[in-house]
Amino acid sequence: MAGSDIKITSSEGGDFDAYLAAPASGGGPGVVIVPAVLGVNEGIRKFADDLAANGCLVAAIDPFWRTDPGPAGPGDADPDRAAKRARPRIKLIEQGVADVADALADLKSRPECNGRTAVVGFCYGGAYAVLGTTRLGCDAGISYHGTKVETYFDELELDSGGAIVSLHWGDLDHAAPPHCQEGARQLDAKMPNLDVIIYPGVKHGYMMSSAAAYDQPSYDTSWARTLEILTGLRDQPQRGAA
């Protein structure tokens, strides 16, 4: 089933763009994708479509809608556009929690959602894999080469509520320095609901097919773990949900 562009009403006023991909039949978890600084480009749309083909209801949201909406890319007049619009990063990440909450509410209102929810984040969006579980009650959070995820490690340890959290990095990821990866490993040893997967010899951006760092074996492993988590939510609907 082909996806479509939709508007999601913001609880703070106005609305923002999202790409919605729904399963061809039946229902499953509502999954919010928060992309990298490039935004909702063709790669993110394809990823959303692939999740929908596996029974998920997916909304890939534009996290930069307030100041610089739309995807960024090679055709931009300013070659630094993508990086600039993600600053100051922590302030923007915090601001975006409301957007994820609004997107989750939209998905849960649709008949294709079985009441379960998850957040999937790429790079800039990676922190929402944690924040979706600690602040928004999601059943799962999945991050691929997430940035600033370590900012929320204490929150993850205290408030994840038993939700599944899966964090993936390459060990050569310049945006996830050694203290970040080591901190994640230490949490992994203490938290049964957390899994941390580090890919040897792999750089930042390995999940994005258009990136020089794209790594097919690591992508395949990340994808398999993602499907394991999300199909588990698909097959265990929330009580009272259709």
Contacts of 52 (CB under 8 A, 6+ apart): 1, 3, 21, 22, 23, 24, 58
The pLDDT of residue 1 is 61
The pLDDT of residue 75 is 84
Outline where 69-215 has alpha helix (H): 81-84, 89-108, 127-134, 153-159, 178-190
Would you state the structure tokens that stand for residue 91, as one six-digit string? 């302030």
Would you state the structure tokens that stand for residue 121, as one six-digit string? 């984040």
The type of residue at 166 is S
The pLDDT of residue 240 is 58
The pLDDT of residue 241 is 59
113 within 8 A of 30, measured Cβ to Cβ: yes
The pLDDT of residue 238 is 80
Q: Is the pTM of this model over 0.75?
A: yes
Instruction: Break the chain into its structural domains and give their ranges.
Output: 4-234
Contacts of 201 (CB under 8 A, 6+ apart): 170, 171, 172
Q: Which CATH number fits domain 4-234: 3.40.50.1820, 3.40.50.2300, 1.10.1760.20, 3.40.50.720?
A: 3.40.50.1820
Which regions in the chain score pLDDT beneath 50?
none
